[in-house]
Homo-oligomer: A and B are copies of this chain.
Amino acid sequence: MGIRVAVAGASGYAGGELLRLIAGHPEFDLVAATAHSQAGRPVAAVHPQLSGLNLMLTATEPAELADADLVFLALPHGQSGALAAQLPAGTKVVDLGADHRLADAAAWELYYNSAHAGTWTYGLPELPGQRERIAAADRVASTGCYAVATVLALAPLLRSGIAAADDVVVVAASGTSGAGKNAKTHLLGSEVMGDLSPYKVGAHQHVPEIKQATGALSLSFTPILAPMPRGILATVTARPLGGADPREVLQAAYADSPFVHVLPEDVWPHTAATAGSNSAHLQATFDVDSGRIIVVSAIDNLGKGAAGQAVQNANLMYGLPETTGLSVFGVAP
- Residue A220 contacts which of B45, B258, B292 (CB distance < 8 angstroms)? B292
On chain A, which size bracket covers the interface?
35 or more
Q: Is A90 an interface residue (CB 8 A)?
A: no
A6-29 CB contacts (< 8 Å) to partner B: 13, 16, 20, 23-24
What residue in chain B is nearest A189 (Cβ atoms)? B192
Q: Is A275 an interface residue (CB 8 A)?
A: yes
Q: Least Cβ distance of A72 to chain B in Å?
A: 17
Stretch at the interface among A76-84, A129-137, A193-201: A193-201
Inter-chain contact B49/A274, CB cutoff 8 Å: yes
Q: Is A243 an interface residue (CB 8 A)?
A: no
**Residues in B neighbouring A229, C-beta threshold 8 A:** 189-190, 193-194, 332-333
- Residue with the highest number of chain B CB atoms closer than 10 Å, among A169, A233, A330: A169
A227-B264 Cα distance, complex, nearest whole Å: 24
Inter-chain contact B193/A231, CB cutoff 8 Å: no
Inter-chain contact A227/B224, CB cutoff 8 Å: no
- Given the contacts A169-B169, A270-B197, A20 and B329 also touching, CB distance less than 8 Å: yes
Inter-chain contact A327/B24, CB cutoff 8 Å: yes
A137-B330 Cα distance, complex, nearest whole Å: 32
- Given the contacts A52-B328, A207-B289, A189 and B227 also touching, CB distance less than 8 Å: yes
**Residues in B neighbouring A168, C-beta threshold 8 A:** 290
**Residues in B neighbouring A332, C-beta threshold 8 A:** 16, 47-49, 229
Instruction: Fill in one digit per residue for A179-210: 1 if any B CB lies within 8 Å of its CB, else 0.
Output: 10111110111111111111101110001000
Q: Is A121 an interface residue (CB 8 A)?
A: no
Inter-chain contact A279/B51, CB cutoff 8 Å: yes
Q: Least Cβ distance of A303 to chain B in Å?
A: 9
A146-183 CB contacts (< 8 Å) to partner B: 167-169, 171, 173, 175-177, 179, 181-183
Q: Is A39 an interface residue (CB 8 A)?
A: no
A219-B291 Cα distance, complex, nearest whole Å: 9
Sample of 6 further A-B pairs with CB below 8 A, known A49-B329, A221-B287, A226-B227: A188-B188, A197-B271, A218-B290, A222-B294, A222-B296, A227-B228
* Chain A residues near B (Cβ < 8 Å): 13, 16, 20, 23-24, 44-45, 47-53, 167-169, 171, 173, 175-177, 179, 181-185, 187-199, 201-203, 207, 211, 218-222, 224, 226-231, 233, 235, 237, 258, 261, 263-264, 267-277, 279, 281, 283, 285-292, 294, 296, 298, 327-333
- Top 5 closest A-B pairs, CB basis? A49-B330, A189-B192, A195-B272, A171-B171, A49-B332
